[in-house]
Amino acid sequence: MSNGCKESDWRLFRKRLPGWQEAYMDRLTKEYVAILMGEGLASDRFWALDKRIRADKRKAGVIVTDVRRSVLTSTMAQLLREGAITEDDLDGFSDELRESLHYSMQVDRMLNA
C-alpha cells in the first residue's frame, strides 16, 4: 500500500474514472434536455438550466481529473454521494476500500437523516 491506497485500487480507479465521468455527464445532459423541454417560460427554463449547470460543474463526477492516492477514498466517496458511481461500480476494488466506502456512505446517510 502506498499512501493508504493499494496499487491495484489506484490502477483500477485511474482506468475507470474516465468512463464513470463520461456516463455521468451523459446522464446530466439528458437531464438538461428535460429541463429545456419542460413546461413554462423559456426564460425560466434557461435560468433553471444555468443554475443547474453551475452546480454540476463543481461536482467530482465532472471535474475530477488529477487525483492523488492520498485522497482516493474521499474522492470515491464523493463520487458515490453525488451519484456519479454506484456501489456496483466498486466491483474489483479491494475489500478494504469497499468497506471504507460503505462505512462512509452509512455515516452520510445517518447524518442526513
| Residue 10 confidence (pLDDT) above 60 | yes
Task: Look at residue 65 in the predicted model and tell me its pLDDT.
Answer: 75
Residue with cell 425560466: 44
CA within 13 Å, CB half, 95: 0
Please give the Cα distance from 66 to 47 (Å, whole number): 31
Task: Look at residue 7 in the predicted model and tell me its pLDDT.
Answer: 93
H-type alpha helices, the chain: 7-37, 42-56, 60-63, 72-82, 95-111
- Residue pLDDT, tens place only, 56-65: 999 999 998 7
SS3 96: helix
Q: What is the pTM assigned to this prediction?
A: 0.84
Closest alpha carbon to 46 in 32, 56, 58, 60:
32
